[in-house]
Chain A
């Protein structure tokens, strides 16, 4: 199992540009989560999907952020336009609903720097 795969690992972009982060969850996991981590705010939930359907997007900061999950093996998080305050590490995680342990498996993260 290759685990949760995120791309790119690092992204440096100029303010105002569009940024797209990608995630491939573990096969068979029907929950997918997007988190953002900063020193000031820690790990914050942005949005999560169940069976490709967005369930809770209350953590999405503003309309500049959008997320999609067109199929069970792919999700994107888009920021348009990007701002310096969006600089953070963005993690994707997936889990399965079976069993009592539904701890997440995290991807390696995308470190986003907006200059």
Chain B
């Protein structure tokens, strides 16, 4: 089992819809989680992080963390074609300082 697991997609949503991206992790002691966006041929860019159970909102983005279920999600409201990218979930696993990344989910927003 991968330490941080994501469905590779692609996840296709129409413009204006809510895109829901999911991530699970195997280490129950994991702390903070981060969502990065990576456009094709570019470097990952930090969108937001979450370390407490519940929801955290930043503009059109909402991160959700459920430590009991070992589940992290990212919701993108009013999806735009410019949101089309690969979204990487990353976590700080027990005993590590460096982020462990999932393989990413490719999102396609159809105009």
Please give the residue numbers on chain A whose beta carbons come within 8 Å of chain B beta carbons, in ascending order: 31, 33, 35, 42-43, 45, 48, 50, 55-56, 91, 100-101, 103-109
Contact = CB atoms under 8 A, between A and B. Distances in A.
A45 B103 contact: no
Interface string B77-111: 00000000000100000001111111110000000
Interface of B: 32, 34, 36, 42-46, 49, 51, 88, 96-104
A55 B44 contact: no
A100 B101 CA distance: 18
Which secondary structure dominates where chain B touches chain A? loop
B43 A103 contact: no
B44 to A, nearest CB: 5
- Interface centre among B46, B51, B97, by most chain A C-beta atoms within 10 angstroms, is B97
Given A42-B103, A101-B49, A91 B43 contact: yes
A103 B104 contact: no
